A = this chain, B = another copy of it.
C-alpha cells in the first residue's frame, strides 16, 4: 500500500483565515487577505512580527481553525482505504501548537490513526511515497514525490504536480471513481 503524507496548515487547516482575522483585530493590520497571504511579516510588517509569533504560539490558537476545504474530510476518508495516510506538520516551528493540532486532527479526522501523525520540522525526514504540501521548500526537501497544494504564494512554482482543492486530490490519487 502506498503512503501519502499530508501537510496541515493551508492544506487541510485554514491557518491564514484565522491568522488574518486575528491580526486585523489585535494589531490593526489594514491590508487585504491576499496581501497578508503573500507577506513576509519580518520584512513587510516587522513591527508586528514578534507579537504575531507569540499569538500563534498561544495554546489554543490552532484549536478552532476552519477546514481549508470541507471536502478534505471525505476525500481523506476514501483515500485512507487505498493508501496509508500520514499527517506531517512542521509543528516544531510553533511549539505552542502541539496539543491544539493533535486535538484538531482527532476532531475533524477521527478515522485517522494518531500513530500516523508526525510533528516535525524539516520534511526531509518523512518517509512516504507522496507529500501534499503548500510549501515549496518542504516539497524540495522531501525525498518522495511532492504534490503542491495551490495557494497564491506558490503560484509561480512549476516544479511539482499541482492540486487546487481536495476534489483534485481525489482525482489524482483515485482517478477511477470507485463506486
Residues of A at under 8 Å CB distance from B?
3, 5, 86, 88, 90-93, 95-96, 98-99, 102, 113-122, 124-128, 143
Using A98-B98, A99-B98, A102-B98 as known contacts, say yes or no to A113 and B117 having CB atoms under 8 A apart.
no
A36 to chain B, nearest CB (A): 25
A2 to chain B, nearest CB (A): 13
CB pairs A–B below 8 angstroms (10 shown): A3-B125, A92-B114, A92-B115, A95-B114, A98-B102, A98-B119, A99-B99, A118-B119, A126-B127, A127-B143
From B5, B92, B116, B120, A122 is in contact (CB under 8 Å) with: B116
From B93, B99, B102, B119, A120 is in contact (CB under 8 Å) with: B119
Please name all residues of chain B whose beta carbon is closer than 8 Å to the beta carbon of A3 when the two chains form the complex: 125
A121 touches B127 (CB 8 A): no
Q: In the bound complex, how far is the Cα of B118 from the Cα of A90, in angstroms?
A: 9
Please name all residues of chain B whose beta carbon is closer than 8 Å to the beta carbon of A127 when the two chains form the complex: 124-127, 143
Please name all residues of chain B whose beta carbon is closer than 8 Å to the beta carbon of A120 when the two chains form the complex: 115, 117-120
Please name all residues of chain B whose beta carbon is closer than 8 Å to the beta carbon of A118 when the two chains form the complex: 118-120, 125
What 4 A-B pairs have minimum CB-CB distances, sorted nearest first?
A: A115-B121, A98-B98, A127-B127, A119-B119
Using A119-B119, A126-B125, A128-B125 as known contacts, say yes or no to A102 and B113 having CB atoms under 8 A apart.
no
A58 to chain B, nearest CB (A): 13
From B92, B93, B116, B124, A125 is in contact (CB under 8 Å) with: B116
Closest B residue to A127 by beta carbon equals B127
Q: In the bound complex, how far is the Cα of B98 from the Cα of A114, in angstroms?
A: 14
Q: In the bound complex, how far is the Cα of B154 from the Cα of A23, in angstroms?
A: 52
Given contacts A92-B117, A95-B99, A116-B125, 7 further A-B contacts (CB under 8 A): A93-B115, A114-B121, A116-B122, A117-B120, A117-B121, A126-B126, A126-B127
